[in-house]
Every structure is written in C-alpha cells, then in structure tokens.
Structure 1
C-alpha cells in the first residue's frame, strides 16, 4: 500500500538524516582523545572537523542535479553506501592525516546524502499536508542526531573506544539502505540541468583557501601567505563571475534582492558564526578547563543542544504572529545574550558547569528560536520552482560559515592563550615557543603538559598559568561569538526592513 511504502521510505530517509546529524555533533567529544591516541596537534583536530564541513559544501548543489538526472533513489542509495564505507575508513584510521582524508570522503557522502533526502521526500510525498508532516519528522530526527550526538559520543567512548563513534554508522547505514530500498520510489527529471562545474570548483577552492589560511597561516611564510590569500580571493571572484554568466547557476544572486530571503540568510549565517562552530570547542572547555570526563562532557553538551529540539513549535508561533523580521533577529539576539552569559560565567572565580549553565541554556533557546523560521523563510520567500535553489543557498551559507568559523575560533583560542602566556611568562619564552605551547594548550590535554615541557616545569610547576591561559583563550572565543551574533541580529533586522503589509491590510489602508 502507498501509505506503508511511504512510511518505510520516510524511516529510511530519517535514518540517513540521523547519521548526518550524529556525525557533526558526536565527534567533538572525542577530539581530546584523538589528540593523544593519534598524536594529533591542534591544527589536525580542526581539520578533522573542517574536512567534513568543507566536503559537504562541495557537493550540496551538484547532488540535486545528479539525482534529477540519474534517479533520486539510485543516488540516495549510492551516497548512503559511500557514507557507510567512509565511516568504516574513519574508524580504521591509524593516524591524523588518514582520519582527515576519511572525514573528507565522509563529508562528500554526507552532504550528498542530505541533499538526496530532501529530493526524495519532496517526490515521495505528493500531497502537501503529508509532505509537511514528513519534513517535520525528518527535521525532528535530524535534531535528535544533533542534540543527542555529544551524549552518545561520550557514552560510546566510556563503554568502548573512540573508533566506534565512527563505526556505529556502518550498521546504521545498512539499516537505512534496507528501508530506502524497500520504500523509496525511483524518480528522475528528464529535463535536468547541467552541472555547474565552474561554480562548484571555484566556491570550493575559495572556502578551502580561506580555511587553510586561517588555520595554517601562522606556520606559512609571508610569500606563501600572500599567495594563498590572492588565490582564495581570485577563486571567490571567479565564482561570482561564473554564477553571473551561467544561464543555470547553482547560486542565483538575484534572490538576494528579496528582503525576506536576505534577512533569513543572516539567521543561517548567525547560527553557524557562533553556535555550531563553538560546539566543537566546548568539549575542550569542559574537559581541559573544568576537568570533566567524556561522559559528563557529553551530558553537559546535551544541555547546550536540547533546546534546539524543543523550541521550534514556539519559534513557528512567533514567526506566524510577528513575522520573520522579528522572529529571526530575536533568536539571534537570544543566542548572543547566551554567549555573553557564558563569557561572564566562565570568568567567575571557581567557574564550573553551574556558572556555564545559564549561558548554555539561553544559547540553546536562541538556536531553537532561529533555526526553523530561517529554513521556512528562505524557501517561502521565493517562488515554488526556485525553492530547491533557495534551500541550497541556505544550507551552503550555513556550512561555509561553519567551515570558516571553525578555523576562526581556533585561531582566536590560540591567540588568546598566547597573549596570556606572553604577559605571564614575560621574556622567558620567545614568540615561536609561545605559539607552539599555545597550540598544545588549546587541545585541552593539560594533565601531562607541564611534566613533558621542561620550560614549564620551571616557570609554571603548578600549571596555574597554563590553566588560566586556556580560560583566557576561551574568553576571547565566547566574546567574539556573542558580539558577532548580536551584530548579525541587528544587520538582519535592518535587512528585513519594515513590517510587510498583507494585501487585505493594504486595501483597507487605501480605503481609509
């Protein structure tokens, strides 16, 4: 029966979205473990996360076209298989470079799988009401993956080993494949457009270049740094030109003239400017600064992410009553207040999880208020035939901002640590030694650092300076996130402009 088939298909697609969400939020909990078992430095840890997000961005827009041309079910099956195999490679990795490469492959598969999920559900559920319910279920399951990922990651490490944070996706992918194969109906668009190769390659090159510059810039010579900067800027300019001259671009810049769309994109950028990149570093704060184990850290991160799952109904009521021009900036404002509260709580004497609790809860409420109105506004602000492209721009804006800010937050963390060390240790260490030490401290593994570093054994035998420097670095990060997202809230409110008057209201006003 169609109902049963659609239910089976929805189960398979929801499992795929669960895999995607888990892979983003469960990995940060094990980063400190990877630092020791894989001899990964701080930059390696950044790339273990960033390889996934950059790879996702690379394939987002292309996958829709491929699915339209070769069959949505076929491409969905292929990407789910690829995700399972890439997860297996991640679990079998024996070094940081191998894990980074496997994470890139996993990101390619994950981004493609996410895009296919949207395409499959859109075709599988033809009735508008049923389609709405299907997307609600899909969003809830994705939220469960993102929300419970940290706790699940911490629990896996506590019961087994870090490899199973990746390997667990292999049986889940097989289960998803069984449901997808049994339930999804094959479909394709015989008028599918050609791939925008120029747009994909230039955008990917620009994002990778900027991320590489921020992450590795301190170790590059002046000439190389200038060269990477020029190449990244040139790639971005080439991307803009390519999209302007392509008759079927993956990024149609004309949609940015629509105030509702552009204002909502500020919401997408704001969330990934602060909340989602910070979740990668927050486990380091809980373990390195506050000294909690991976299980406790995972549970504390659940407090950070849980409101993301429970706030969407209230967010939609706010959007319905006050429009997106109020709902989205209000969500970003709440998010910014949360980060300022975290900054205050982390700087208190005897800071612990209780002093961080108000800020993490407020930030979680802010992300919950922002996410659903942002997604619904970006797709609802354009005509139905452009909804797929609008959704692609929305997701791309999120992942590009996420990739760049993973690097930015890492840079701020190490610079904040280095600034504190420079003042506390004075001329005892040169700039190069301070930078190297700051990167080691930024991993959060402080227990053996003093003992393994001869200079610190003399200068800071108790480890108090090292600990205080990490607190100082996180202060920089939280303040950056808070001020930045508050600024984006104001920018978004200005872009939305005055309240839109409905047609009936206009006629009534004109009659008066």
Structure 2
C-alpha cells in the first residue's frame, strides 16, 4: 500500500513510533558500550558519566524551548527539524575519536533528541484527542518505545561483538530518513494561537541551575566540598533556580506555568515522572557495569541479561493503559512506582547472594521493568490530558523536563553513591591508605568495572588481593547502596503521588484548562 493511501493519522503514529524507537535505542544501547568506551577512548569514570549526562542535560535544556517553539511556529515544522538534527549529530557522535569530543557531540545529540521527544507527545496529543483512540495511540507509542529499550542492550552488545561502537550512533541515520518521510506524509501542522514569544530568561536560568547541581555532584569531591569553587557553584545554582521561579512567576506567558500544579492529576502524574527517573532510568546506566564488572559477563551476555530489566516495558504499557482507564491513573501510577521499588529490593537481595548471577537478579529486574511499564504511558497521557490540547506543548514540556532533570541529577547521584560506597569499603579494608588520592582513583576505576592496578599503592593491593576478591566485594557493596537509594526514591515518590492525587472525586472537580480558567469534567 502506498503511503499516500494510508490514513494520515496512521502515518503520523508511525513517524512518532519510529522516532521513539530511536530515542529508546539511544537510552538503552549506549550504556552497554560504556566499558568499551573506557578502554577505546581512554575515558575515566567521570567521563563515562558525562557521556550519558551530556545527553540528558541537553534534552532538559531544549525541552521547554521546544515546547514554546512548537506551540508558536508549528509542531510539525519543529518535529521535522528535530529529526534532522538528531540524525546529523548521531553521525558526529559516531565519528568522535576522543571522550571530550564525544561528550560535546552527545550534548548536541541530546538537543535533537529532547526536541524530538517533546514533539512526539505534542503530535500525539493533537492528532489523537478521543478517549479510546488516544489511549491506543499512547499505548502503541509506549510499546515501540519499549522495543527500543528492551532490545537496545542486546543490540549494543552485538554491535560491539560484530562491528565497532560507532554503529551504536550511526544506525540512527537510515532510520531518520524513513521517519522524515512518514512525518511529512502524516503529521498535521498545529500551533497555539496564543503563543507569542520564547521565554529565554526562563530557559537560561533553569538550564544553569540544572547544570550547576549536576556539576557539583560529579565534581564536588575533586574540587573539595567546602572549597571556594564548590561553594560558588552551589550559590550560583541556588540563585539561578530562584531567578527561574521569579522569572516564570512574572512572565505573562511563561514556558513553565506554575498554575498547572493546581491540577492534582497533573501534579500526581509529574511525581510519577520523577519517580521513574529517581530509580529505574539512571540505574540502567550502571547495570551493565555490574553485569560486566561484578559478574564478569561479556558485552553480549550483559546485553542479554539486561533484557529482563527492559523487556517488560514492551508488554506492560497496553495493560497499564487499560488499568488506568478502569481504575484511574491515581491508582496505577503509584502502584507502578511501588513495584519499581520492590524490584530494586529484590535486586539488592540477589546481588548480595554468595553466588550472584543473572538468575539471582532476574526477579528484581523483571519487577522493575513491570513497574516502569505500569507508570510510563499513564504518566504521559495523564499529564498532557490534564490541560487543553492547544497547550500540549507546554504540558509535555513540563512532564519531560521533570523526567530528564530527575534523570540527569540521579545519574550523577547514583555515580556518587557508587564511588563513595566502593571507597568506604576500601577505606575500611585498607586503613593505611585511607584518605589518599590513589585510593579514590582506584575506587573510581572499580566503580567503572575495572580492577587493574593504577599506582604503586594499588599495585600493593593487587599483590595482597591477587584474585580481586576485595575489589569485587567493594563493587558489590557500592551497588548495594545504589539499589537501596533506588528503593527509597521510588517509594517516597509513590507515597507523595498518592497524597497529591487525592480522592478521585477531588481530582475531577479540580480539572481545569490553563487557557480559559473554566472547569471541565475529567475524561
């Protein structure tokens, strides 16, 4: 069947699903090649963190700008431009020959990916507005996104095994060409007639505050937590965030409209967005390190092991949408986050067993993925459905900003906890080396999954621990603390979500639009 004869909405949905596949692959395939990048590009642990965080920070930087630009100049136009940018920057990433160049390239790729992601949600919200049709469209989006996430780890591992790491990025070029054809044929142009300007002060202050916080978490130990430089970063971060709030409060047409938080269904869904990214998503960055470093798996076997963590996101979203329609998102979203927390608890138990393997991790991985599948699409559908369709860009921008800001911060936080956990174990086991720079350097290498000695001091450790038992135990201890952090984050935000959603009747009465202030019944 020719494209011209296909229903326009079907083509639009195909374009959205294909670009969501690329975004999902980019999230889940890159972590499996981080150990390879460490050796090929001579990247240290902090560089590996920044290879991932440059992408998420860039996504956050452009999200609200993209929502405003799409509302003003047209969602189709910005969507097409974002696909082109993602394709070009993916090629640049594939050609990078050093860690700093790859980090910069990943930032540029993140700008394209973030813009592409926000447009996906805006396009779906505009072209699928009826209850059942909208639910099916978001369900299909969630399934394809789950395919990218589910098969990304094994694809990344296979690429390393049969080709080279560059193709993890280069693969997006041919996919983007097909997505562009579908977008031109199916996506309807739409815009917000009330959008008049781009809120640059808000964009800059939010971006600076996010970057400052992540930089302090990742670099604070090197700078000295109480050094003038570190304290200046903290002060600048706080001032930037305060300035952001003041700017948005005083703007006649803010990109981040705080009045939306009066809608309890929106605020409850937003806590779900944050909950996923306090736990599930940032841990995906580090789980391949556990499988390869602690369990000794190859990149392919690590990718296969990760399927248990990601494949449930493929099959659960349609079930989640049906559950949300029947029982309400206010029940399904907290349930999903609670399930993620239970999964982390089981993973912590499995990782701490004497003969840990992918089998001991399997129950926790499956439960985490199931919880993510229960949470992901109901969160997006509820957040964008809480406001009028012509403000979908703004609503999805806040939703995705909450996700990616939480993700960027918690990639840094989990890395910090992992290093400090490894370091505390080594300090207790080797009190003579406590407080030395060589021990911290060794802890960073162990956290990256490398047990090779780095200095004369760590060479002495290698002589005392020829089989790496102590270093292995330090890595497992660090990961145990990271998993505990995942439990606390998921369960805390699940509880807050229950409180904010409140009783169903109150959610329905407080459903409002941001444009006219008129109360409408919930769908």
Q: When the two structures are superposed, what TM-score results if normalisation uses the length of structure 2? A: 0.91
CA 1:377–1:126: 2 relative to 1, 3 Å: closer
> Does the 8 Å contact 2:126/2:392 carry over to 1?
no
Q: Which residue of 1 aligns with 2:77?
A: 74
Q: How does 1:125-204 map to 2 (within 5 A)?
A: 132-188=135-191, 191-204=194-207
How far residue 471 of structure 1 moved from its aligned partner, in angstroms, is 0.5
Shifted more, 272-281 versus 20-29: the winner is: 20-29
> Does the 8 Å contact 1:267/1:329 carry over to 2?
yes
Q: Which residue of 2 aligns with 1:19?
A: 22
Q: How does 1:277-356 map to 2 (within 5 A)?
A: 277-356=282-361
How far residue 447 of structure 1 moved from its aligned partner, in angstroms, is 5.7
* Aligned-partner SS, 1:484: helix
Shifted more, 323-332 versus 212-221: the winner is: 323-332
* Aligned-partner SS, 2:449: coil
CA 1:81–1:317: 2 relative to 1, 3 Å: closer
- Counterpart CA distance in 1 for 2:471 and 2:425 is 9
* Aligned-partner SS, 1:194: coil
Q: Which consecutive residues of structure 1, in runs of 5 or more, have no partner in the other structure?
A: 505-512
> Does the 8 Å contact 1:451/1:457 carry over to 2?
no
Q: How does 1:95-494 map to 2 (within 5 A)?
A: 95-123=98-126, 132-188=135-191, 191-221=194-224, 222-428=227-433, 430-446=435-451, 453-494=458-499
> Does the 8 Å contact 1:270/1:489 carry over to 2?
yes
Q: Which residue of 1 aligns with 2:501?
A: 496
- Counterpart CA distance in 2 for 1:376 and 1:435 is 44
Q: Which residue of 2 aligns with 1:508?
A: none
How far residue 224 of structure 1 moved from its aligned partner, in angstroms, is 0.5
Q: Which residue of 2 aligns with 1:42?
A: 45
CA 1:247–1:268: 2 relative to 1, 3 Å: same
- Counterpart CA distance in 2 for 1:380 and 1:9 is 19
How far residue 370 of structure 1 moved from its aligned partner, in angstroms, is 1.6
* Aligned-partner SS, 1:105: helix
CA 1:323–1:122: 2 relative to 1, 3 Å: closer
* Aligned-partner SS, 1:370: helix
> Does the 8 Å contact 1:331/1:370 carry over to 2?
yes
- Counterpart CA distance in 2 for 1:335 and 1:128 is 28
- Counterpart CA distance in 2 for 1:501 and 1:183 is 38
- Counterpart CA distance in 1 for 2:18 and 2:162 is 23
CA 1:488–1:68: 2 relative to 1, 3 Å: closer
- Counterpart CA distance in 1 for 2:453 and 2:144 is 40
- Counterpart CA distance in 2 for 1:185 and 1:386 is 16
Count of matched residue pairs: 504
Q: When the two structures are superposed, what TM-score results if normalisation uses the length of structure 1? A: 0.92
> Does the 8 Å contact 2:71/2:393 carry over to 1?
no
Shifted more, 317-326 versus 285-294: the winner is: 317-326
Aligned CA RMSD, in angstroms, stands at: 2.3
- Counterpart CA distance in 2 for 1:503 and 1:302 is 39
- Counterpart CA distance in 1 for 2:139 and 2:330 is 23
How far residue 25 of structure 1 moved from its aligned partner, in angstroms, is 1.1
- Counterpart CA distance in 1 for 2:324 and 2:495 is 17
- Counterpart CA distance in 2 for 1:54 and 1:293 is 30
- Counterpart CA distance in 1 for 2:506 and 2:191 is 39
